[in-house]
Amino acid sequence: MKSKQEWFESKVAGVSPEIMSEVQMSADIIARIDAILKEKHMTQRDLAHKMGKSEAVVSRWITGFPNFTLRSLSQLSVALGEPLIKLAE
């Protein structure tokens, strides 16, 4: 019988590079949002209020792996007062 770790590793090994890249980008954006919130001493509630969104929506963005749109990334960047992504020139 496989351990949980072996089972997990076997599942991850079968994921396409494109999906792995998408998951990594989402994780990086979520980490950036979390870091900015901490740096600015803001809560998820503060961010939700600033964006006119429900706390549940913001919580899903920060605790899950959302499919961010350019619009949602722009709204988040404006509300946080910081860019979430920087494109290479």
Task: Provide the CATH number for the domain around residue 41.
Answer: 1.10.260.40
Nearest to 82 by CA among 42, 23, 53, 54: 42
pLDDT tens across 42-70, in order? 999 999 999 999 999 899 888 877 888 99
* 29 in a structural domain: yes
Side-chain-side CA neighbours of 38 within 13 Å: the count stands at: 7
Read off the pTM: 0.79
Tell me, yes or no, whether 9 lies in a domain: no
| Per-residue model confidence (pLDDT) at position 30 | 93
In this structure, which amino acid lies at residue 35? Answer: A
pLDDT tops 80 at residue 77: yes
The tens digit of pLDDT for each residue in 6-44 reads 887 787 787 888 888 888 888 899 999 999 999 999 999
Q: Domain range spanning residue 54?
A: 19-79
pLDDT number for residue 33: 94
| Ordered DSSP codes for 14-65 | TS-HHHHHHHHHHHHHHHHHHHHHHHTT--HHHHHHHHT--HHHHHHHHHS-
User: How many domains would you assign to the chain?
Assistant: 1
